[in-house]
A and B are shown apart, each in its own frame.
Chain A
């Protein structure tokens, strides 16, 4: 079977590439778009290291045939910071020592981003639920949960830019 041309919007930019039949969104991101933050920990949807946001919703990219999401919008970790300015999630993960080997970090942060977008005021249980599909073998999760809650608090206290412009 021949490949198809797939167009995706990734981190706000159009990406166009050839996809062999059965190519997953994960492989397309890593190999065709050179976006390697999302990892291939299991290729079976049981570890969460490939978590990206599909129109804001966390998905396991290793389970998504890329042809089925052609034309849609994907967000990966590479698009999270604004140039040199880190997102509060990224800052909190650093400040609270929520990374060790770093392999689960991309999936964790994207899952957390998905949570905070729909629930800016999560309880600890909400955070736990949101990352329950993400395996971490190093940290024991405690620091990660703390970092997500700290990021949520930061984001609540941040002065919205729109408001500043109006003043």
Chain B
């Protein structure tokens, strides 16, 4: 008749990109005549926030304010090919494609600005606030909007760019499994603190402490969203979820949310998370991506914490109260 506390740890890595590569994405960028930029994609935002992060990458590379860059997606008539949003590939591949396109557009923009200011394009910098000026002489400047107007109506130039990123498809050597599966790996370590009720077998996750290494966080708050949301999903996977509660028997499969159990807002754990960054050489501004991995270390950390708490090693997911109680019974019978 006790609530037993325990702590467990898990450390993992996660690969960036579609396994074995061969998953290109393209991006097109053009400036409007009034100095805004549109990034045209066929990429899909699932809620992870691609539309925001891609605009950030575009704005950074172009050297213009974030709120002058808009992402237009997804329409396969206007957006060039994108393999899709999966495999933690979005930020990495689409981000790289956008950098390539933005560099091309930026070069034209600086050429036109140089013409207008009568300087060498190599002498120019963007201030990120909407102006282009001579490096070291901010008074010798021109607004991006005027550059855009001049480009289109005076010089007949299009401030636009095209980009693609592809990790070439590699094959697996069938005999040995030699392969080149990914572009980078991100890392995570979770420490879980749980409480096991030894009468009901119920497990409460008290706290999850997560340390993530993701290359570079494009938007720290949005990376945090992935960490917290993913940790919740990991807790859910570890303790609650399955479509076949008696696998491999298919009986009693849940049909709706009243039967498919997931932790509700009253079941969430206290969470403390931190990010460290080791930029990937091939990632956009070093990004590795984070979308998938965030459920993974919490799951095993919770399983290990349960063992620490009550000595029951559950080798199958989900770790239901029934499995914990059976484990406790077995321990008591010894």
A residues near B (Cβ < 8 Å) are: 42, 44, 46-47, 97, 100-103, 125, 127-129, 131-132, 135, 137-145
Which residues of B231-283 are within 8 A (CB) of A? 231-233, 256-258, 262, 264-266, 268, 271
Is B185 positioned at the interface, with any CB of A under 8 Å from its CB?
A: no
Instruction: Tally inter-chain residue pairs, CB-CB below 8 A.
Output: 62
- B: number of interface residues (CB 8 Å): 23
Q: Which residues of B contact A139 (CB under 8 A)?
A: 225, 228-229, 232
Q: Are B228 and A102 in contact (CB under 8 A)?
A: no
User: Cβ of A135: which chain B residues have Cβ within 8 Å of it?
Assistant: 257, 262
What residue in chain A is nearest B235 (Cβ atoms)?
A140
Please determine whether B221 and A97 come into contact, CB atoms closer than 8 angstroms: yes
Q: Are A132 and B264 in contact (CB under 8 A)?
A: yes
* Distance in angstroms between the alpha carbons of A100 and B45 in the assembled complex: 10
Contact call B257/A132, Cβ cutoff below 8 A: no
Inter-subunit contact B264/A138 (CB<8 Å): no
B318 CB-CB contact with A under 8 Å? no
Point out the residues of chain B lying under 8 angstroms from A97, CB to CB.
Answer: 221-222, 224-225
Q: Is B46's beta carbon under 8 Å from chain A?
A: yes
Taking a contact as CB atoms under 8 Å apart, the answer to whether B46 and A140 are in contact is no
Among A102, A137, A145, the residue within 8 A (CB) of B265 is A145
* B residues lining the A interface (CB < 8 Å): 46-49, 221-222, 224-225, 228-233, 256-258, 262, 264-266, 268, 271
Closest 3 CB pairs of A and B: A101-B47, A140-B232, A46-B257
Q: How far, in whole Å, are A142 and B228 apart by their CA atoms in the complex?
A: 8
Is the pair B47, A47 in contact by a Cβ cutoff of 8 Å? no
Task: Let me know if A44 and B256 touch, CB within 8 A.
Answer: yes
Pairwise interchain contact A46-B268, C-beta atoms closer than 8 A: no
| Contact yes or no, A132 B265, CB < 8 A | yes
With known contacts A135-B257, A145-B265, A101–B228 Cβ distance under 8 A = no
Q: How far is the CA of A141 from the CA of B271 in the complex (A)?
A: 12
Contacts of A125 in B (CB 8 A): 266
Give the residue among A44, A46, A137, A138 with the most B Cβ atoms within 10 A. A138
Q: In the bound complex, do residue B265 and residue A128 qualify as a contact, i.e. CB atoms below 8 Å apart?
A: yes
Partner of B228, one of A44, A103, A143: A143
Known: A140-B271, A141-B265. 19 other contacts (CB 8 A): A44-B258, A47-B257, A100-B48, A100-B229, A102-B47, A128-B264, A132-B264, A132-B266, A137-B233, A138-B229, A139-B228, A140-B228, A140-B232, A140-B233, A141-B232, A141-B268, A142-B268, A142-B271, A144-B265
Which residue from B48, B225, B230, B266 sits with its C-beta under 8 Å from A128? B266
